[in-house]
Structure formats: structure tokens, C-alpha cells
Amino acid sequence: SSMPSDRKINSTAACMAFMMEGCEMKKVRSNSRMYNRYFLLDPDMHWLRWEPSKKDSEKAKLEIKSIKEVRLGKKTPVLRSNGLSDQFPDECAFSIIYGDNYESLDLVASTADVVSTWVMGLRYLVSYGRHTVDMMEPSQPSLRTSWIGSVFELADVEKEGHIDLFRATQIIKGLNPGMKESRIQLKFKEFQKAKDQYGEAINLDTFVEAYCELCTRPEIFFLLVQFSSNKEYLDSKDLMLFVEVEQGVEGVTEDMCRDIVQKFEPSAEGRERGYLSIDGFTHYLLSSECHIFDPQHKRVCQDMTQPLSHYYINSSHNASLLEDHFWGSSDISSYIRALRMGCRSIEVIVWDGPDNEPVVYVGSSVASQLVFSKVLDIINQYAFESSEYPLILCLVTHCCIPQQRVMAQHMKKILGDKLFIDSPNKEENYLPSPEKLKGKILLKGKKLPPSCTDAEGDVTDEEEGLEMSQRVGTDEKDQLNGLGCKTLRLCRELSDLVSLCKSVQFRDFEFSKRDQKYWEICSFNEVDANKFANEFPEEFVCYNKRFLSRVYPTPMRIDASNMNPQDFWKCGCQIVAMNYQTPGLMMDLNLGWFRQNGNCGYVLRPAIMREEVSYFSANARDSLPGVSAQLLHIKVISGQNLPKPRGSAAKGDVVEPYIYVEIHGIPADCAEQRTKTVSQNGDNPIFDESFEFQINLPELAVLRFVVLDDDYIGDEFIGQYTIPFECLQPGYRHVPLQSLTGEFLPNTTLFIHVAITNRRGGGKAHKKGISVRKSRKAREYTTTKTTGIKVVDELFRASTQPLREATDLRENVQNAMVSFKELCGLTPAANMKQCILTVSTWLMNSERSLRVTVDLSETYPTMEAQGVVPELLRKVLNAYDMMIQTSKTLIESADVVYSKLTQAQRAGLDFHEDLHRIGGKEGLKGRKLQKAMESYAWNITVLKGQADLLKHAKSEALDTLRQIHYAAQSCGLSKNGAASPQLQLKEMMMRRKIRRVRSETQV
């Protein structure tokens, strides 16, 4: 690195000093060739120079006041060209846009740190170059140093002008929790040594200097300088721009921003004047307001009125165990822990106990038996503490008839009205909803057949019950469908308590479709469930639309390890039973997943897996019909206060961290990428690395960050955080890290940037990402499939044209938006507010009498320029016009095309009931008929999906207009300030609707 390891850029003065010393960077020419040059800033801070150069030294320079913009990353045509894009990382490139013709000086530095310093310094000079700002030696103390000085004076009770080392260390540790005392003390000693001062006394200058050095995070300071219009702090307008443009918050007001300042700014002067200093800004970014997890998902936010089979249900296996199946002891606290963690399906394995009192234990842990009635007491007490939605009690019974009767008595007495015992409504086709079953405990277990009228009878016991009994030495009986099967004597009292979750033997999908009742539930050993997932993925998904299925770990997992729940969630399996006592990746996925709906234990499955007629294969390896693929852009910026791995016996105190960014979901989405290892500043590392992931089924995707130590002996795990894709907040966010067992590590975070965009182009994701646009000739259209049933195929063939129109409407807008963003020097991940802000910045930095306004009196705001327009700005204006035109076409045409697609879908659905018979009449049978049914479901899914995508695209286009409206007002570009765009568009749509109704009436 050309950035000295001991130098920390924590002020603009430090930036200027570094730039004046200069450093070597590569200058990139338009022919893609690169030249090494030494760049430095003139002492008067008016010129940027480089050497050696064949040019006259007076030509190898650039005047600071001619700079229009400084772009971070590969944001110009030269840096994006094919010959260069793979030669250096995005973080090491930046461009200086200068002159009246907006030319670019494209540079590549050795490290991201060097880039950050130059970009920060140049942006600062561009903002303040026209004012006489004495940056090197400020004439008066800054907001920050005044505040730190007042903290020091309060600590200096004796007014001696110094405080002792211990007190100074504790003050800084208190202001920056998580920082190591040894690091603070070392920094004090470094400064003292540099000034030839020794001893335990720390004076004001040393205290202020050490605080600024230790407590300034350069990456946050860099961010502050980008948005600051007031030197080294943000006023409420700056903050408003940051919160709105970068953090994606809607409806931000100056009052809201003043509240942020009051809440997070440490200095009284800053709060009084409404300024947020670097310390206040850091506190704000570390607060829950800038957490990666969307707070809307901290409460129940999904529709809870769908059938129970339409939800994933948080489930525990062998809840009583503390450790593994053989050596683990049973403990009542395990039930409490599982219920408090949001578990809604809990297993209780009951055996005959002494004194006619049934007991609970697992496997061979006979020594630590729990009395069944005590377990029920705990379940009754904690059942609805963390969630009011139904709890499924999976009862595995190994008791004799007398003790079964005792079990039934205990359940009626202890659980009382909470126990749901109403008979299922045979007129219905689906289970009741979680909303209807609030506060109820459902018993999953065996039930006597209707033909049995005696007080007791035989039922088959083919599930965990058999495996458990085999493990403790009971004889194996006959086999049924490859599964062990024995009979169990069951009493009437226990049978009558089972209502909506009657356990039955699974035979095959055809049998279930024909004969299984909606209140019957099958359990699958993970081996069998995996087999069905791989060999019959479509059938398994269809089966789970109507019936609950429970997947439990194979008995071969004697160490109580966990299966991957995603393997079964992708098939729609609702209840995937996890060993809660075993931490690790699989449990992280389970707990992270169920956070997304207020941790209530229920998560609504993706629509494509719920709708009665829809096509979804669990093993899909590409984009899905009718689901909008998303691109997730993650920039891992830095880590804070990373501890040593708990079980590590590593060489020293310093960690050498690296990070895995993982996506878990359907097979097409599973991916992982890792950062480099940071070896010099391990506990507060700077990574500055960007990653991109394509997400084909966002509703089933989970993002996981794992931090590991490269310098370890024994344990390498530092921390992790797992979050569902749907819960991500865009912008600059902090990620709180958790330990292996799930506790949050104090003050330990990652700092990242998140952006989510639609995938461009319609085909497979291009290697170079979403900036690649497809012409209409190369565009891949989603089409319907031939079923082989003539009347059905004719109907679907008629929908070809509206399907193409829907794709063109969406992708024309997407391509126009990408072009506009790229010309603004932004990535396709940028939002429209950032584009308008960029254009505004160019104008502020222009020496010409150039004025651009956005006319907000129009429904579709036009961007107009007065004066001589440079070539680049002319291209930007043309790209803006194209974006507005394609948006207008989409908004005004979407309803008609949407109507055609939904009509075709409804007409197709009319064949649903009779499809089997019609196919048979046309001579289709066996596999051919099955294929026709699948193609039919695919076509219905495509029509509904493309209609939904078009509706969503229209909503996004309206949102783009709204962003333009508010951003133009915020940046001072608005002309004819108008009512909100929603109001205008509502009026326009209403007028259009009235005209359409009139014309239809006349017809």
C-alpha cells in the first residue's frame, strides 16, 4: 500500500497533507492504455499536477476550479471499456470530470484507501475552492475539538491542565464502547513520545489528538464530506439529502433531521445550531435507525388469514434435549428456550413412567426423565409468550393404555380451552388460518379410524415413534413403503384430542391427491423428503399447497446435527424440525428466516408456491416464470471491534479477518463470495469490496455474513448475521454480529452498503452485470408452452402478443433508466434521487451561465436547459427525455395490456376442473397427460406472473416520477412547483377511466 499503515485520514487537513506529498497512480487513456504517473496537489491547493509527462509541465496539470465532479469507481466509458474492466477492482478507480466539455481524467490507485483520500480531498476542494478556507491551520477550534476540550475540562477537576492516563483511557473508552484499553493507552504513549513527554499525565492537546486519531472512522468521514455543504459537519439540509437519497427514506423533512441532530450530536453547540459532526454522524449510523434489518418486519407484517398449509412454521425436534441423542440430558429449560425463540411446533416424546405417571425423554437419556405433567405446565405457561399464533404439539406416544389415559387427563386439565379439539369441517378444502387459530394448541398425533367404536384400537406407528423405540431396543416390525411400520394400541380419550393434525402414513402423491384429507399430516424422514425433492420436485410443491408436511432429521444424526431447512422450504414443506440445541449454519438460517414476520413463528410462503394453479420446480436453476429476478449489490466497507474467536489459541491479540457473503435459497440463487484478508488493522478492518448476486426467487432468499479469522489455531469463527432478503434496507447500514450460539456481540458490527435493482435484459444474467442492455432483437421473451390439447393451446397462443408487449414496456423503461444513470456517472444500482442530485452538483460547479430546470407543472416532468449546453449534458438531457417517454408509454399502456393478460389467465383457468377429462378425450394418458398438466400450470403461472410484473413496473415508474419531483425540489432545480405527482397522476388516470367508461357505454 502507498498509504502508510500508521497514517489515519481523519480530517480534511490530513487529506490535503497526503495529496501534497503525492503518490503514484495509473493514468488511463481513452485507448485503454495505462501510464504510471506521480500525482500531487500544489501547495496553494489550486492545481493538481502529474509527472513525468511528455507534455510541457504547464500542460500536465489541472485547475481545481475547473473540476465539475469526482466519481468513485468505474463510472466513465473509458473505465467501463472491455479492455480494462477486469484488470483492477472497482474500489481502486476514480475519475475527475473537468472543463466546460465535461472531459474525464481516469485514474487507478494502488489501494481503496488512497482512492478514498484523493476523492474526499478533491470533493472538499471543489465544494470550498471558491471560498478562502484555511484548511491546514484552522484559525478557530472546530465544533468537534471544542466539544472534546469541554469533556477534558470536566474531567480535569483540579484544573491542573492534565488528567492521568487511566482517567483519559476510561473517558475515550466510554465515548467509543468496544475499543480496547491497550490500544488507547498505546496511542497516548505514541503521541507523548513524539512530543518528548513521558509519565502518566495527559494534557489537553494530547487528549484531543488521541481522540481524533482513535475515534474517527475514515470511511464515515469520507461519507460526511460527500454530503456536507458546511465544511466538516452536516446541517439539516445536508442530512435530509443523505437520508432521502442514500438511505431511501420517503417523506424526509427538515424537522425529522433536526430531531436526528438532537438525538445523536454529542456537542451542545452542535445541537443548538442544528449541526451533526463526525461523532454525531457516526452515532447515527451505528444506531438502530441505520440497522440493516427493516423495522417493519419486527412486527407481524404478513397476511395471517391464509390456510395453515400456506406458511412455514418454526419447528423444534427433540425439544427436551440439551446436547446429542445419546449423551444429551433432557431438561425443562430447553422447552422454555425453544418457545421463547418463536418455535410453533414442538415435539414431546412420552414413555411409561413410575407410579402410573408418564415421563418425557429422548433416546437413551433415561436418567434425566421429565414428568409429562411438568412439561405440559411449562408449555401452557410459555406457549404464547412470544407469539399468539397456534402451537402444534407433536406427540410421540410409547405409553400403555392406562398411562395414555393419564396423558389425556393431564392435557385436558392443564391446557384446558387452549387445546383445539373441534372436529374439522368436511365442507372445507383447506386448514383454518393462523389468525382463526390464535391462542390455540393443536395436537399432532394418531387417531382411531372412524370404523373403530371401541374404547381403544390399533393404529400404525410409522414415524419418529418407531425410530425412537428401535434406538432403545424395541423389535422392528414389518416394512411399509420402505419405512418401518408397527402397530400401536391407542385409547379413545387420547385419540379424541387430535383434530386438525391427524398423523397418517404417506403412500404416494397420486394417493394423497385422491384420498388424503386436508386435516391429515404426513411426516417425512429427511432421507425420504430429499428423495422426493430431487425426483418429484413439482409434485412435492403441489402436495404442500394443501397438506401440512413435517420433515424430521434422520436417526443417523446421533450428534443432533441439523439438516439444511432450505432443502425442504424450497419444496413448500411447512414444518422442518430443527435441533435447537445445536448451533451453526443451519440453525442460523432457521432463526434468521423466522425473524421476518415479527418472529411470530409463521412466514407466508411465496405466492408461486401457494396458488392452486401455478408451476414451480424446487430444483429450478434459472429465472422463474412470472417472478422478477433481482440483483443484490453488497459493498462490504469495514468491520468494528472484531474479537478473537472464542475457542482460538491464536498467536496474538490481533485478528486477521475475512468475510464470506452467502446467499441461501433455491438452487439457482445459492452463491458465496469472500473478501480479502485484512492483516494490519484486524479489529477495525477496512475491506472496501463490492459483490453482486442474482436473486431469482427473492421471497425464499436469505443473506448471511460470516466473519472468520485467518490467523487462528483451533477456532476461526468470529461472528455471523443472517437476514431474509425481504428484510434488507438499502443504503449505508451496520450489521450487528452474533456469536455461534446466537448472542449479539457487544459493539461488534460490519459497515456495508446495500442496493437492490431489477435484473436487466430478460435473459440470463450477463457476466458483467446489469449495465448490459439488450436490443429488442436479442431480447428473450417469456412464452407459453404447448400442452397438446388443441382448444387450450389456441387460447394460450392468443396471449403471445400481450406477453411480448408487457416485456417490451418493462424493459424499454429499464434500459432507458440504465442509460440515464450511466451518463450521470452512476451505477444501475443508483436511485433517481441520486441522478437528480448529480445533475444539480454539476450545475453548481459550472463556471458557465448554465441553468437546468425540471418543470414540475407537467404530469411527466421535463428537464430543460438554458444557455450553451456541453456535449455530455446534452446526452444526459436526451437520456432523461427517453426515460420519461418510455415511462409515459408504460404508465398509459399498462392497464390495457394487464387486462389482456388477466383475461387470458381467467379463460385458461376455466379449463382447470375439466383438463384431465379433455386431455383424455384427445388421447393423452400417462406421462403425456402429466406433461400437458405441467405445461398448462406453467402457462397460467406465466400469464399471472407477467401481469403482476407489469403492474409492479407501472408502480415503479410512478415512483420514479415521484422521486424526480421531490429530488428536483430538494436540489433547487424545480420550476413551477406543483402539487405532488401522485395527485396529478390520479387525476389523469381518473379522466382516462371516465373517457374509457363513456366509450364502452356508447359501444
Domain shared by 731 and 844, yes or no: no
> In 3D, which of 738, 930, 974 has the Cα closest to residue 839?
974
Are 552 and 526 in contact by the 8 Å Cβ rule? The answer is yes
E strands, 792-879, where?
851-855, 862-866
**Predicted local distance difference test score (pLDDT) of residue 478:** 42
**Predicted local distance difference test score (pLDDT) of residue 363:** 56
Residue 299 lies in a domain: no
**Distance, CA of 951 to CA of 957 (rounded, Å):** 10
Domain shared by 229 and 169, yes or no: no
C-alpha cell at 580: 435447537
Of 25-34, 203-212, 399-408, 835-844, which gets the smallest average pLDDT? 835-844
**Domain enclosing residue 694, as ranges:** 630-646+654-756
Over 50: is that where the pLDDT of 784 sits?
A: yes
Domain shared by 279 and 343, yes or no: no
Domain shared by 203 and 122, yes or no: no
Domain shared by 209 and 228, yes or no: no
Residue 145 lies in a domain: no
**Predicted local distance difference test score (pLDDT) of residue 132:** 40
What is the DSSP track for 868-890? PPPHHHHHHHHHHHHHHHHHHHH
CATH number at residue 750: 2.60.40.150
Over 90: is that where the pLDDT of 757 sits?
A: no
The per-residue b/e assignment along 248-280, b for 16 or more CB within 10 angstroms, e otherwise, is bbeebeeeebbebbeebbbbeebbeebbbbbbb
**Predicted local distance difference test score (pLDDT) of residue 976:** 66
Over 60: is that where the pLDDT of 1001 sits?
A: no
Residue 924 lies in a domain: yes
| Residue 362 CB contacts under 8 Å (≥ 6 apart), including other chains | 318, 320, 321, 325, 328, 330, 349, 468
The dihedrals phi and psi of 770, each to the nearest 5 degrees, come to -85, -5
Over 60: is that where the pLDDT of 322 sits?
A: no
**Percentage of the chain lying above the pLDDT 90 cut:** 43
Over 50: is that where the pLDDT of 124 sits?
A: yes
Over 80: is that where the pLDDT of 321 sits?
A: no
pLDDT band at 72 (very low <50, low <70, confident <90, very high): confident
**Predicted local distance difference test score (pLDDT) of residue 444:** 94
For 555-571, what is each residue's pLDDT tens digit? Answer: 888 777 889 999 999 99
Question: End of a domain among 194, 215, 236?
Answer: 215
**Distance, CA of 321 to CA of 325 (rounded, Å):** 7
pLDDT band at 969 (very low <50, low <70, confident <90, very high): confident
Mean pLDDT of all residues in 252-280: 92
**Predicted local distance difference test score (pLDDT) of residue 464:** 56
pLDDT band at 327 (very low <50, low <70, confident <90, very high): very low
Are 977 and 969 in contact by the 8 Å Cβ rule? The answer is yes
Residue 480 lies in a domain: no
Of 11-15, 275-279, 751-755, 934-938, which gets the smallest average pLDDT? 11-15
List Cα–Cα distances, 96 to 27, 92, 103, 113, 834, in angstroms.
11, 14, 8, 17, 18
Dihedral in degrees, nearest 10, Cα atoms 827, 831, 836, 840: -60
Higher pLDDT, 850 or 985: 850
**Distance, CA of 711 to CA of 718 (rounded, Å):** 11
Over 70: is that where the pLDDT of 651 sits?
A: no
Residue 908 lies in a domain: yes
Domain shared by 267 and 368, yes or no: no
Residue 774 lies in a domain: no
Residue 235 lies in a domain: yes
CATH number at residue 91: 2.30.29.30
Domain shared by 589 and 681, yes or no: no
**Distance, CA of 378 to CA of 386 (rounded, Å):** 14
Residue 285 lies in a domain: yes
For 367-422, what is each residue's pLDDT tens digit? Answer: 578 899 999 999 999 999 999 999 999 999 999 999 999 999 999 999 999 999 99
Domain shared by 171 and 87, yes or no: no
Domain shared by 555 and 436, yes or no: yes
Over 60: is that where the pLDDT of 767 sits?
A: no
**Predicted local distance difference test score (pLDDT) of residue 213:** 87
CATH number at residue 237: 1.10.238.10
> In 3D, which of 609, 430, 457 has the Cα closest to residue 517?
430
**Predicted local distance difference test score (pLDDT) of residue 462:** 62
pLDDT band at 722 (very low <50, low <70, confident <90, very high): very high
pLDDT band at 290 (very low <50, low <70, confident <90, very high): very high
For 73-107, what is each residue's pLDDT tens digit? Answer: 888 888 877 666 678 888 889 999 888 888 889 99
Domain shared by 226 and 347, yes or no: no
Residue 714: count of CB within 10 angstroms of its CB: 10
Higher pLDDT, 839 or 677: 677
**Predicted local distance difference test score (pLDDT) of residue 264:** 96
Which three-class secondary structure string do you get for 532-600? HHHHCHHHHHHHHHHCCEEEECCCCCCCCCCCCCHHHHCCCCCEEEECCCCCCHHHHHHHHHHHHHCCC
pLDDT band at 934 (very low <50, low <70, confident <90, very high): confident
Of 315-329, 506-520, 589-603, which gets the smallest average pLDDT? 315-329
Total-model pTM? 0.84
Mean pLDDT of all residues in 509-532: 92
Are 319 and 580 in contact by the 8 Å Cβ rule? The answer is yes
**Predicted local distance difference test score (pLDDT) of residue 925:** 83
**Predicted local distance difference test score (pLDDT) of residue 293:** 96
Over 60: is that where the pLDDT of 736 sits?
A: yes
Over 70: is that where the pLDDT of 255 sits?
A: yes
| Residue 699 CB contacts under 8 Å (≥ 6 apart), including other chains | 605, 606, 607, 725, 726
**Distance, CA of 792 to CA of 437 (rounded, Å):** 40
For 802-851, what is each residue's pLDDT tens digit? Answer: 999 999 999 899 899 989 988 888 877 788 888 888 888 777 666 556 67
Residue 514: count of CB within 10 angstroms of its CB: 8
**Predicted local distance difference test score (pLDDT) of residue 783:** 85
Of 747-761, 929-943, 955-969, 970-984, which gets the smallest average pLDDT? 970-984
Mean pLDDT of all residues in 629-635: 90
Domain shared by 255 and 342, yes or no: no
pLDDT band at 192 (very low <50, low <70, confident <90, very high): confident
How many domains is the chain partitioned into structurally? 6
Domain shared by 230 and 211, yes or no: no
**Distance, CA of 355 to CA of 360 (rounded, Å):** 14
Mean pLDDT of all residues belonging to the chain: 84
The dihedrals phi and psi of 515, each to the nearest 5 degrees, come to -120, -20
Over 60: is that where the pLDDT of 873 sits?
A: yes
CATH number at residue 936: 1.20.1050
List Cα–Cα distances, 696 to 731, 780, 947, in angstroms.
22, 16, 17
**Predicted local distance difference test score (pLDDT) of residue 15:** 81
